[in-house]
Structure 1
Amino acid sequence: MDTASKAVAKVPELTLAFWIIKIAATTLGETGGDAASMSMNLGYLISTLIFAVIFIVAVTAQLKADRFNPVLYWVTIIATTTVGTTLADFADRSLGIGYAGGSTLLLLLLLASLFVWYRVMGSVSVTTVSSPKAEMFYWVTIMFSQTLGTALGDWTADTAGLGYAGAALIFGGLLLALVIAYYATQLPRTLLFWAAFILTRPLGAVVGDFLDKPIANGGLALSRYGASIALVAFIVACGTLFRQRPAKVSH
């Protein structure tokens, strides 16, 4: 097996199941991150450090793997979204830069990551990930997008006053618009992919908050532990029912 085949074997094919699991994983990141920082009272900084270690271990294992492993891939995705949740909360609340400041900073970091990736590798399409260097760009970009999504979701739901349900409708509507654009326009598929990938994160963030935040704040006040366990079970069920296949390389 050549290098390109090894790399692409670790990236899943983009199917409906992929997007369903992605949204569930981002929601899990919100409930799981909140469970550690709030329910366990570890705080944002300690929780971020814990999840950052998990993220580093998962990415290292992903980089060393010689083929696509669905369990390892989704564990790494969940690791990016949990560390993204606590990191965004730490920046927004503990550092006091606010949702607007956090969202702006993280958007700039995400754009910088995509820019450097493009300048170094010549493409930011996931189907061209064919080396450890490109895969590292892939995971760093994903981590920034997950962190941005948390800050953007909180900003929309809280600062903009739309509430969790209202914010979920906004982000869900934007994702639907991207689906329509995919089938009805000739917009670059790579652009649509990253736009959808980024938007699934704030959607998951506000859905997660809707599940576990107090009723007085517009949530359902469900147990963060219970919601997280239910989401894990849903992800496992989807992964079992819908076979995850590696993406094909494009050069």
Structure 2
Amino acid sequence: MTDTSETSGAYAPSEAAPGRRLRWNKVPEVTAYFWIIKVLCTTVGETAADLLNEKLGLGLTGVSLLMSALLAVVLVVQFRTKAYRPGVYWLAVALISVVGTLISDNLTDNLGVPLEASTATFAVALAVVFVVWHRRERTLSIHSIDTTPREVYYWLAVLFTFALGTAAGDLVAEKMALGYWVSAVLFALAIAAVAVAHFALGLNAVFSFWIAYILTRPLGASIGDYLSQPTGDGGLGMGTVITSVIFLAVILGLVIHLSVTRRDVEESAPLTPQEG
């Protein structure tokens, strides 16, 4: 699914009018690469969060603080870049996937918040971000993440989609006792239904994109849990180390490919004299 309901404003530098400078979109074009890496990052977010919690001995709170600090550093770099850079962008997504997982886990494991309550809370928080974003910027399209305020709203939305997806995925897989594999199939079918609604029935592209973006989180988490968890718990028993390393290696290979080929680079509209 591509977010095309609003003009992407793709211009080559030579197409900009004299005296007008281009402003560049800070996120990738939505292609098959985008969705593949997104699902891989959500899987790593689930398994890496479990791995770090197990191996570092810092406890859930300590790991959460450490990963949040790393995310803050990477986001500073991301905000200071002038255009989309695959390595920086996808590192931020991978880290925010881990942090979103840890936020949800802290509420459930440390504070005893029921999954139903945390799922509802994150859904409301995400809705608030979208409402404020749209009222201030008049768009939720990721084709126009080309100003600092829009980038702030974008990353807040991404964070809450990961936290919401984690809580919702745990609610379905564990609370409802459907198991990891069945949960993955259900979320995959839900994403397919959104795709059909968009391409065949004309569902708004921006709305379709964000619904699919939310659903990829529990899909990736269910896949990660299925691969890494012990066979007695309904998984394949690969462990968090092997699962995380495999998926990180695939992500790295795809990001290097995109950095070289620039197949997911999209330009934004040229600034008007008033915007400049």
| TM-score, structure 2 normalization | 0.85
Please give the per-residue CA displacement for 1:155-175, whole angstroms capped at 9, x wherever unaligned.
Answer: 100011110001000000011
Mapped pair 1:41 → 2:60: no
Alignment match, 2:195: 179
Q: Aligned AA for 1:200?
A: T
Quickly say closer, same or farther: Cα 1:4–1:219, change in 2 above 3 A: farther
CA–CA distance in structure 2, aligned partners of residues 158 and 3 of structure 1? 52
Judge conservation of contact 1:4–1:130 (CA < 8 Å) in 2.
no
Q: Tell me the residue number matched to 1:88.
A: 104
Instruction: Map 1:123-202 onto structure 2 (within 5 A).
Output: 123-202=139-218
Partner of 1:213: 229
Q: Relative to 1, partners in 2 of residues 1:180 and 1:58: Cα closer, same or farther, differing over 3 Å?
A: same
Superposed, 1:66-85 pairs within 5 Å as 66-85=82-101
Which whole-Å deviations, capped at 9, do the CAs of 1:55-86 have from their partners, x for residues lacking one?
Answer: 11111111100121101010000011000111
Quote the offset at 1:98 in angstroms: 1.7
* 1:246 is the counterpart of 2:265: yes
- Structure 1: unaligned runs, 5 residues or longer: none
Asked which structure has the greater RCO (Cα within 8 Å, sep 6+), the reply is 2
Mapped partners of 1:29, 1:238: distance in 2: 17
Q: For 1:40 and 1:215, locate their aligned partners in 2 and report how far apart those are by CA, in whole Å.
A: 24
Contact 1:129 1:135 (8 Å CA) reproduced: yes
Q: Does 1:32 align with 2:48?
A: yes
Alignment-mate amino acid for residue 231 of structure 1: F
Q: Which has the higher helix share?
A: 1
Identity between Structure 1 and Structure 2 (%): 31
Which of 224, 234, 243 is residue 250 of structure 2 equivalent to? Answer: 234
- State the distance in 1 between where 2:254 and 2:196 align: 24
Q: Distance in 1 between matches of 2:83 and 2:49?
A: 29
Moved more, 237-246 or 18-27: 237-246
Say if 1:127 and 1:250, in contact at 8 Å, map to a contact too: no
Letter in 1 for 2:268: V
Aligned position for 1:5: 23
The more displaced of 51-60 and 23-32 is 51-60
- After superposition, the Cα gap between the structure-2 partners of 1:119 and 1:51, relative to the gap in structure 1 and judged at 3 Å, is same
In 2, Cα distance between equivalents of 1:3 and 1:145: 33
- Of stretches 240-249 and 100-109 in structure 1, the one that deviates more from structure 2 is 240-249
Q: Residues 187 and 218 of structure 2 are in contact (CA less than 8 Å); yes or no, is this contact kept in structure 1?
A: yes
TM-score, normalising length from structure 1? 0.94
Q: Which has the larger radius of gyration?
A: 2
Report how many residues are paired: 249
